[in-house]
Structure 1
Amino acid sequence: MWIGVKDGKYHMRHVCQDSDELNTYGWTQHNGRDFGHQVLVDQGLKLTTSFLKSKSEGSGYGGDWAVQIDVQTDKPELDNEMLRHGHLFFYLADESRHVLSLAGTNLDTDKNSLLASGSRSDIGDWQLHLKSKEVLELHYSGFSTPHIHNLSDLVQHNLGAQVRKFGQLLLSDSSEDSPNILVFQISASIPFKADIAFVSGTKVKTSKVKERVSRLTGASLTSLLQDKQTEFDVKFERRFNVADKLEPDSTIVGKAAIANMLGGIGYFYGQSKISIPENSSLAIFPLQLRGHDNFISYWPAELYTAVPSRPFFPRGFLWDEGFHQLLIWRWDVHICLDIIGHWLDLMNMDGWIPREQILGSEALSKVPEEFVAQYPSNGNPPTLFLVIRDLLDGMEKKQVHCH
């Protein structure tokens, strides 16, 4: 999350949407697994975010990860305080309502990089660290809530109260009891750079937390990210072999195309709403059993999938996914097979898959109510067959190795 400036006014940026009118945004590189590089230009503000996942000895399930954020401006208008100062917000949210612990109420990254900690059965104990060479002003707020789809509103409400009380655009440095969401605000003079590192399995004797945090921040992180950028470029050429066929500018577009396809992949969990046809045997059930809006709930399901569009359609669409996977299997066949498996798991006994997957409160928050229910009478052309046929052809030609 960050605060942008437009027409002399502050604007909160969080969920990807066209109405924010960013000059540009998107992944320039992303390998679908453990690395991505993204550039966002919001008026005179340029944000570059890069992430890296790392599995090391002692880390918990899923390993560790780090994010490097670089803030620049192409409008060095030093007389304008709004353009001289940057406000970034990053947050940690546990949807299972595990309590997140602050490292302390006086956060000072010069003396101690630890910001927060906690524990989960799947990854063990974990810690969140922040490191930067610049002088940063750091503030926080903690929330206890079952929802995260309205996090923008919670943060803006907190900031608004602070502005009215003290005239400062800074979080309140306070927390609700037993918070499952911690939001941290970095405020600093532009340009500045900050590294955020998450390490898991921190109570294991061989965890070497200090060394792992050091490896995932500073010059070491910058070097690891540069290596990943080179790996991406090499793999792109190996997979698509376009160097002799395309101009350099077209190659850049090609890399952005595959990066944004991979960077748009997400994991969703929830229940689809299924409309009950008038002639269905289910229509005889009383309203309290089938829902007041004449629908029933599909079984609780998980879906790992690419999405057609980050700002407009950030959820799974059956028709689109067949086309997405024609590209993705050529980059990483294992990601493709995982996604196809998730989609096929959504098939009911009639062979039908709900064509639009609106799973979970975040996905629901982006869809008008009248478009939520899915109709068993509506089906998409079975584009997943295109991918399955393509994969079988590739296996026959020894272009696909699925071991």
Structure 2
Amino acid sequence: MARGERKRRAGPLADAPGPRAPDKAGRGGAGRRREGRVGVGPAAGPRRPGGRGAGDQGPGSAALVALGLALALGLGLGLSWRGILAWQRARRAVTLHPAPLALPPNSSSAAASPDLFWGTYRPHVYFGMKTRSPRAPVTGLMWLQQGATPGTLGQLRHTCEQGDGVGPYGWELHDGVSFGRQRLQDGPLLLTTEFVKRPGGSHGGEWSWRITAEPQSLEGSVSPLLSLFFYVATDGQGTVRPDPGTGGQLKGIDGHTEDLGDFRLVLLPPTNAKGTALKYGSYNVLWMPSPGLQLLTEAVKSRLNRWFQHRPPGGSPERYLGLPVSSQWEGENSQSGHTVRGQVVVQQLTLKIPFRVELVFESGSMGSGESRPGGRLAGSMLSQALDTHAAAFTHRFEETFRLGARGLSSGEQALGRAALSGLLGGIGYFYGQGLVLPDPGDEGPEEPATAPSLFPPAPLFTAVPSRSFFPRGFLWDEGFHQLVVHQWEPRLTREALGHWLGLLNADGWIGREQVLGDEARARVPPPFLVQRAAHANPPSLLLPVMRMLDGGDTADLDFLRTAFPRLQAWFSWLRQSQAGPLPLSYRWRGRDQAAAGLLNPKTLPSGLDDYPRASHPSPDERHLDLRCWVAFGASVLTQLAQKLGETRAETELADLAAKLRDENGLDSLHWAPELGAFADFGNHTGAVRLARGPQGLVRVVGRPPPHLQYVNALGYVSLFPLLLRLLSPDSPHLGPLLDLLADSRQLWSPFGLRSLSASSPLYGQRNSEHDPPYWRGAVWFNVNYLALGALDHYGHLDGPHQAHASQLHTQLRTNLVGNVWRQYRDTGFLWEQYSDQDGHGMGSRPFHGWTSLVLLAMAEDY
């Protein structure tokens, strides 16, 4: 998994390489270090929704014009030809592709998609909502256990953090559009967060929240004094203003933004579980300039600087730490009459659990107060709406995936609902500018010395792998995510794929990690903020494209017709930029160099990070998995071109696909007779180890020295011709691959296929002193899912290995699903990876990324 990082925590942005702000000519200015708001300024002017105006040049003509200008300027200044080409590459790296966009103009707006405008699109916070707009107003929840002992203080909770002790938590039900229910366990406290949306008006409708706070156990637990902090914040445009009440309790919060018009948020008085009003609650309020959404937690925490007394009638007073009680503006412009941009209002409610409380967002375009058509979405009306949505979700889930009909237990069905809901609840909407280093070209080093440039401002609607650890977009993860999403809500898949394809640059490259906006940037260590335009990622977005082709949905086909030029440009860039030393061979550019502290240089672009490759990176490498991905991509795009009637493209792609699927050609490049398996090829020796030196662990290379040979690493890469179904059912190599897969001394484990053979010298080995094994033995669900699909495929084809493949499919599915279910039952989480030794969950959690494929495995949907 090409995560770009393994450890926490993010450092200050000031440590990142200095971005170059593009000037009017598109060139980067002098590099300088920045802090805070790089890449999140006001959006550039609107992009055309596709096509070219009468005065526009085609991409080829534009390139010639740009090159001509560069030549004239460069030669006049005495620049070298190499320098001119480098300048042109740098310019193209941050120029958007001219092909028509795959989505209609303003497709994310309230006018175009009103039911998707609001959503839980802030996956990095425990509970919050925002709109799908570049400068979206945001709402959210923080909480603080004041402690069972008066005067004690807990921890302010807001953003999902890997090590903060909260959990298990996650969405139990979430339909991806209008409803969700989540439970969060925080020590003795159990919080249930629910939301439901109601359509209407002209600004994306309305929504209501319900927060229920109760003790984890009725026996022996002391109900702590709990503070809930409900907030609304603007981010660069719009205003919010508290409507004062008495004793710190607000009548409401009024706001206005360009996208929402006038709106009002009302925190209703707390009640018990039956809806009966509670007699007492303590209120505090804060109204201040926005410090930046990424700094909101610390800003609230720093203002919890006074002790107040909670005095319920007939009860003993208790001290609690609170915000101010007054709703006075804390900024400097309170009397100036000027509009202050970027504001936050926080309403703090403090009382003893158990209780429940509701927050209602009301759009000015739907009337005012309780007199609005249909009444206020609160109380019994909210209860009825939540129950109706929950029942509809459960019914639709069974109709879609048929887990009950397949005989799965109620617990396994709950796991399936949580897998889907966690993935849908982890969809985010991001907006900002990425940092890009251009392709240095064949004559340049892999690590160019130039400063990165800013990519144009762009939106991204995408699922994230992990709310706590990876709350941002990952290109090859998203292909697996959308396999699940498409089965539930194809429209969401079209939206996600369209946004990813909107990030295509002029050459056809898409950055493999997308860190867009301040909140996303704050969670990423600075060295990993920059994407390199020479580096690819597996084209897994073509997996859901293949599903869309097979499904025959008219809306899917219409989308693919519009998206085809971008898909074709992306694939063309992949196969040309990653071409290997021999015809029809391919290599992942961007491997780590043979540094002194690395046992085996990593290959982050492949998605398999530390999976063993050639010990000494060189241009002579041939990477098996990449060739298989290109062969798969050529086949999918051939089918798509045929379906769309793109005759010329079909002819070219079909010819490429035939050559890449030729098993003799695959054998000549990647079959290693001495290993009895397919393999990478490169400058390699197995005589490497880490030894303790004065500066820590260093790599020691012994004899035999590295030379060009097949890489003796049996594992996931070895299986790729099988995983992507590139072999014929009577291939002489299918049997040996099935034997390799089924051998418990190699890849088979009771918990799924391990990523690296247990007999490999690098199995379970650290890659450096501070880099534990990642893809060196652990069980990863995405590759196991591909294996399930392949085994099911060959188990239904006549051939000498049909029965063996079918039997392995049944057993592997049992092992995988059984282990994920046991770990979910025992921990409450889906995990990033699983131990091949005892099955326990490892890595980040919750991980509702590609581990959510367990749902499709249970449904036998490949």
- TM-score normalised per structure 1: 0.87
Could you say what secondary structure the match of 1:243 adopts?
A: coil
Percent same amino acid among aligned pairs?
34
- CA 5–244 in structure 1, closer or farther in 2 if over 3 Å, else same: farther
| 2:296 maps to which of 151, 162, 175 | 151
Query: Is 2:347 the counterpart of 1:347?
Result: no
Distance 1:115 1:124 in 2: 16
- CA 350–51 in structure 1, closer or farther in 2 if over 3 Å, else same: same
Partner of 1:131: 268
- Per-residue CA deviations over 1:262-320 (Å, capped at 9, x if unaligned) read 0000100000101245559999xxxxxx9x97100111010000001100000000000
Post-superposition offset of 1:121? 2.9
Partner of 2:347: 184
Partner of 1:86: 226
Q: Is the 8 A contact 1:77 1:84 kept in 2?
A: no
| 1:262 maps to which of 424, 436, 445 | 424
Q: Is the 8 A contact 1:5 1:43 kept in 2?
A: no
Query: Is 2:375 the counterpart of 1:218?
Result: no
Could you say what secondary structure the match of 2:294 adopts?
A: coil
5 Å-filtered alignment, 1:241-256, equals 241-245=402-406, 246-256=408-418
- Per-residue CA deviations over 1:202-242 (Å, capped at 9, x if unaligned) read 5xxx7153144953111110111010000110110111111
Could you say what secondary structure the match of 1:19 adopts?
A: coil
- CA 208–101 in structure 1, closer or farther in 2 if over 3 Å, else same: closer
Q: Could you say which structure has the greater relative contact order, defined with CA pairs below 8 angstroms and 6 or more residues apart?
A: 1
Letter in 2 for 1:194: V
Partner of 1:286: none
- CA 302–107 in structure 1, closer or farther in 2 if over 3 Å, else same: farther
Letter in 1 for 2:156: M
Query: Is 2:371 the counterpart of 1:234?
Result: no
Query: Is 2:275 the counterpart of 1:121?
Result: no
- CA 43–347 in structure 1, closer or farther in 2 if over 3 Å, else same: same
Query: Is 2:473 the counterpart of 1:330?
Result: no
Could you say what secondary structure the match of 1:230 adopts?
A: helix
Post-superposition offset of 1:256? 0.1
Partner of 1:197: 360
Distance 2:508 2:295 in 1: 36
Post-superposition offset of 1:60? 3.7
- CA 6–297 in structure 1, closer or farther in 2 if over 3 Å, else same: farther
- CA 107–230 in structure 1, closer or farther in 2 if over 3 Å, else same: farther
Distance 1:106 1:96 in 2: 30
Higher share in strand: 1
Q: Is the 8 A contact 2:173 2:182 kept in 1?
A: yes
Q: Is the 8 A contact 1:78 1:84 kept in 2?
A: no
Distance 2:211 2:358 in 1: 6
Distance 2:208 2:442 in 1: 51
Distance 1:271 1:281 in 2: 28
Distance 2:396 2:218 in 1: 38
Distance 1:280 1:365 in 2: 34
Post-superposition offset of 1:168? 3.9
Letter in 2 for 1:65: W
Distance 2:245 2:238 in 1: 20
Q: Is the 8 A contact 2:207 2:362 kept in 1?
A: yes
Could you say what secondary structure the match of 2:412 adopts?
A: helix
Distance 1:184 1:226 in 2: 28
| 2:369 maps to which of 202, 206, 209 | 209
Partner of 2:144: 3
- CA 188–91 in structure 1, closer or farther in 2 if over 3 Å, else same: same
Letter in 2 for 1:356: E
Q: How many residues align?
A: 384
- CA 280–181 in structure 1, closer or farther in 2 if over 3 Å, else same: farther
Query: Is 2:522 the counterpart of 1:369?
Result: no
Q: Is the 8 A contact 1:269 1:301 kept in 2?
A: yes
Could you say what secondary structure the match of 1:13 adopts?
A: coil
- CA 101–11 in structure 1, closer or farther in 2 if over 3 Å, else same: same
Q: Is the 8 A contact 2:248 2:325 kept in 1?
A: no
Unaligned runs of 5+ in 1: 284-289
Partner of 1:29: 173
Post-superposition offset of 1:97? 3.8
- TM-score normalised per structure 2: 0.42
Post-superposition offset of 1:124? 1.9
Q: Is the 8 A contact 1:23 1:41 kept in 2?
A: yes
Q: Is the 8 A contact 1:131 1:194 kept in 2?
A: yes
Partner of 1:287: none
| 1:140 maps to which of 265, 275, 285 | 285
- Per-residue CA deviations over 1:342-381 (Å, capped at 9, x if unaligned) read 0000011211100000000000000000111001121101
Distance 1:49 1:257 in 2: 18
Distance 1:3 1:77 in 2: 22
Q: Is the 8 A contact 1:35 1:50 kept in 2?
A: yes
Post-superposition offset of 1:400? 6.9
- Per-residue CA deviations over 1:152-188 (Å, capped at 9, x if unaligned) read 10011000x2249x97401113432347111111111
Post-superposition offset of 1:402? 7.2
Unaligned runs of 5+ in 2: 1-141, 270-276, 309-317, 332-339, 560-862
Distance 1:86 1:296 in 2: 46
CA RMSD of aligned residues (A): 3.0
Partner of 1:380: 537
| 2:197 maps to which of 40, 53, 60 | 53
Distance 1:311 1:143 in 2: 27
- CA 230–79 in structure 1, closer or farther in 2 if over 3 Å, else same: closer
Could you say what secondary structure the match of 1:294 adopts?
A: coil
| 1:172 maps to which of 303, 307, 324 | 324
| 1:317 maps to which of 467, 474, 477 | 474
Could you say what secondary structure the match of 1:348 adopts?
A: coil
Q: Is the 8 A contact 1:37 1:50 kept in 2?
A: yes
Letter in 2 for 1:226: D
Query: Is 2:186 the counterpart of 1:42?
Result: yes
Distance 1:307 1:150 in 2: 21
Could you say what secondary structure the match of 2:544 adopts?
A: helix
Distance 2:368 2:345 in 1: 25
Could you say what secondary structure the match of 2:286 adopts?
A: strand
Letter in 1 for 2:474: F
Structure 1 stretch displaced more, 235-244 or 300-309: 235-244
Distance 2:352 2:187 in 1: 17
Could you say what secondary structure the match of 1:216 adopts?
A: coil
Structure 1 stretch displaced more, 387-396 or 244-253: 387-396
Q: Is the 8 A contact 1:4 1:13 kept in 2?
A: no
Could you say what secondary structure the match of 1:219 adopts?
A: helix
